């Protein structure tokens, strides 16, 4: 949970995309990101604004949680980053990720999930990424689908509203789930089914429209 620069994630994402395009040069490319992955997807799209056929964001990180990012806590994090960059802060509460107990249990027992506290230096990188996202949103013109649960305690839904208001895309859709938590694709079965259906339908519509435009 330490990275020298948040752009490392964007670099790796672009590298993967280039590998896929080399193997499948005729296929359109869609970005999909959840939570911090949403932040990575947004910054990836900003790096190459005309390259992608669309972007799907599930509970994206666009603004910092107001409970976490108080002015005092931000100042404290900056000071701590100078003297104790590897200090661990509070761990994530798994019970705010989803209302689906089976998924919570799976999350808790998954050895590939990092269960420690977030490092101070990483919090600073996240804050830098959020600031860059907010400066860059107006660059985006690609089709965007955003799905977010209104009571999300990990990535504030205000970020998705800000994104909708700021991006230059003409084709943008926000679907809000009134009672769902953060990981919509790991939520109660009715929510998860709805989310996956929304995403599939939206991507198929974009592909169909592109196919029609190609033949015109």
- The domains found in the chain, sorted by start residue, are 7-29+37-215 (3.40.50.1820)
End-to-end Cα separation, the chain, in angstroms: 49
Asked about 35 being catalytic, the answer comes back as yes
**pTM for this predicted structure:** 0.90
The verdict on whether 182 is a catalytic residue reads yes
What does the pLDDT read at residue 85? 60
* Banded model confidence at residue 83, pLDDT cuts 50, 70, 90: low
Choose among 119, 110, 180, 112: nearest CA to 147. Answer: 180
Burial call 140-149: b when 16+ CB within 10 Å, e when fewer: bebbbbbbbb
- Choose the weakest-confidence range: 20-24, 37-41, 66-70: 66-70
Crossing angle of helices 120-136 and 36-47, in 10° steps, is 50
152 is a catalytic site residue: yes
Q: Judging by DSSP bridges, how do beta strands 54-58 and 144-149 pair with one another?
A: parallel
pLDDT at site 91: 79
Average pLDDT rounded to a whole number, residues 167-184: 97
Catalytic residue among 59, 148, 152, 156: 152
pLDDT digit string (tens) for 47-78?
999 999 999 999 999 997 666 555 555 556 66
Q: Which of these is catalytic: 35, 59, 121, 160?
A: 35
Give the other-Cβ count within 10 Å of 36's Cβ.
Answer: 17
């Amino acid at each position: 949970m330490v990275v020298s620069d948040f752009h490392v994630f964007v670099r790796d994402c672009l590298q993967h995309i280039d590998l896929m395009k080399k193997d499948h040069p005729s296929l359109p490319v869609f970005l999909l990101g959840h939570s911090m992955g949403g932040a990575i997807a947004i910054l990836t799209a900003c790096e190459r604004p005309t390259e992608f056929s669309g972007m799907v964001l599930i509970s994206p990180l666009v603004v910092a949680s107001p409970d976490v990012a108080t002015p005092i806590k931000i100042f404290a994090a900056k000071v701590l980053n100078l003297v104790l960059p590897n200090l661990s802060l509070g761990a994530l509460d798994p019970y705010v990720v989803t209302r689906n107990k089976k998924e919570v249990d799976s999350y808790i027992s998954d050895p590939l999930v990092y269960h420690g506290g977030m490092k101070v230096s990483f919090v600073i990188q996240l804050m830098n990424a959020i600031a860059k996202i907010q400066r860059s949103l107006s660059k985006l013109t690609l089709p965007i689908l955003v799905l977010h649960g209104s009571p999300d305690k990990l990535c504030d839904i205000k970020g998705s509203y800000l994104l909708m208001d700021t991006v230059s895309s003409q084709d943008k859709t926000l679907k809000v789930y009134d009672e769902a938590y953060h990981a919509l694709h790991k939520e109660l079965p009715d929510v998860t089914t709805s989310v996956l259906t929304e995403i599939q339908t939206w991507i198929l519509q974009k592909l169909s429209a592109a196919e029609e435009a190609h033949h015109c």
